[in-house]
């Protein structure tokens, strides 16, 4: 149905990027380095971002009680049943992936890239939590391995940053983003649609700003209301509204049409655990959401970046 230019998709998928670059499928393995977060331990803030669960945004990552290699091998043995002869991107997803002494970071990152069939490393972190020594380590790794650093921006609007208790600013983000780019490191920018008090024009602006910055990749996340978070309290109090499925699909297609086609799309919705998700429950059926996005792109006969020159 989709007959799009990116292996049948109408947006520049990570799968397409990796197949062009490595000639094969690259599967992602989420690991836990046992990182905490400066937005929870008091050094930047307390309580964390209002949507973040006590799993520190790592619901599907390995168990930090085990070594990086053990976590990797266990998840790989499961993935091998689905994909034979694939290569892997090791992904430090949980907590703030640069929040440790640089000697410890070196050990963890090395253990990850040394795992069998790993060809890429991804590290999720906060823009305000990368030390000078850490930048040097990241630059060193990026010269040997395909490296991407994922910066959790969520929104370009600082007033939203305050609402979500991000405890860092857009200026912090720009500083880290520009430093990483100047070192030749691929940056993935993590954005969330549906944050409290954001309207459509604000969400579109966050995406359109990416065309000026030109990160290697973006993740567009749907806000998930998770049990035990401040978002759950806001949702139960009626202060926080969540998307209907059709509304979200339409927004994502609008954002894709505005986004420069060179930017790789890593994600268009969220991955929530069924027993922890409060809303929106339709998002549990992730493949139905992705199929609906494909169908809407087809109905519009459009592709990523089709309206990029008209960006706001
Ligand atoms: S910075 Fe990341 S890990 Fe820390 S509280 Fe926010 S979402 Fe959670």
Mean pLDDT score, 190-216 = 97
Name the average pLDDT for the chain.
94
Domain span at residue 215? 14-299
Whether 55 has a pLDDT exceeding 70, the answer reads: no
Q: Is residue 208 part of a domain?
A: yes
Token duo for residue 184? 């030749």
Q: Is residue 162 part of a domain?
A: yes
Q: Is residue 53 part of a domain?
A: yes
Q: Is residue 309 part of a domain?
A: no
Q: How far is CA 11 from CA 52, 100, 177, 193, in A?
A: 28, 36, 23, 18
For residue 58, the CA-to-ligand 1 centroid distance in Å is: 10
Closest CA to 226 of 75, 48, 90: 48
What pLDDT shows up at residue 311?
44
Q: Is residue 3 part of a domain?
A: no
Q: Is residue 79 part of a domain?
A: yes
Which of 38, 46, 48 is the pocket-test mutation for ligand 1 (most atoms within 8 Å of CB)? 48
Residue 62 pLDDT grade (very low, low, confident, very high; cuts 50, 70, 90): confident
Q: Is residue 56 in contact with ligand 1, taking CB distance under 6 Å?
A: yes
What pLDDT shows up at residue 90?
98
Q: What is the CATH number of the domain that holds 185?
A: 3.20.20.70
Q: Is residue 57 in contact with ligand 1, taking CB distance under 6 Å?
A: yes
Atom 5 of ligand 1: nearest residue by CA position: 48
Q: Is residue 108 part of a domain?
A: yes
Closest atom of ligand 1 to 166 CA is: 6
Q: How far is CA 302 from CA 38, 65, 165, 291, 310, in A?
A: 42, 46, 36, 15, 14
For residue 51, the CA-to-ligand 1 centroid distance in Å is: 9
| pLDDT one-digit tens code per residue, 249-279 | 999 999 999 999 999 999 999 877 889 999 9
Q: Is residue 306 part of a domain?
A: no
pTM of the model: 0.96
Count of domains in the chain? 1
């Amino acid at each position: 149905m989709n007959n799009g230019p990116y292996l049948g998709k109408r947006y520049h998928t990570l799968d397409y990027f990796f197949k062009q670059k490595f000639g094969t499928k690259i599967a992602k393995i989420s690991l836990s380095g046992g990182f905490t977060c400066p937005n929870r331990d008091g050094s930047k803030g307390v309580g964390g971002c209002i949507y973040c669960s006590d799993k520190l945004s790592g619901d599907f990552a390995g168990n930090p009680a085990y070594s990086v290699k053990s976590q990797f091998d266990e998840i790989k043995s499961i993935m091998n049943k689905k994909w034979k002869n694939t290569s892997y991107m090791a992904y430090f997803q949980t907590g703030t992936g640069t929040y440790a002494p640089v000697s410890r970071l070196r050990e963890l990152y090395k253990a990850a890239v040394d795992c069998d069939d790993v060809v890429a490393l991804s590290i999720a972190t906060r823009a305000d939590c990368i030390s000078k020594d850490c930048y040097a380590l990241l630059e060193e790794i990026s010269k040997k391995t395909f490296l991407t650093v994922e910066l959790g921006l969520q929104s370009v609007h600082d007033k939203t940053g305050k609402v979500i208790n991000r405890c860092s600013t857009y200026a912090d983000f720009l500083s880290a983003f520009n430093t990483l780019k100047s070192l030749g490191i691929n940056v993935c920018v993590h954005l969330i649609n549906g944050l409290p008090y954001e309207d459509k024009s604000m969400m579109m602006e966050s995406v359109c700003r990416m065309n000026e910055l030109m990160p290697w990749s973006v993740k567009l996340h749907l806000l998930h209301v998770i049990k035990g978070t401040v978002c759950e309290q806001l949702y139960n109090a009626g202060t926080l509204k969540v998307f209907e499925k059709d509304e979200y699909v339409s927004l994502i297609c609008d954002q894709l049409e505005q986004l420069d086609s060179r930017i790789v799309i890593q994600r268009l919705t969220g991955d929530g655990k069924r027993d922890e998700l409060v809303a929106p429950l339709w998002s549990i059926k992730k493949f139905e959401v992705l199929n609906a996005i494909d169908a809407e792109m087809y109905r519009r006969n459009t592709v990523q970046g089709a309206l990029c020159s008209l960006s706001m």
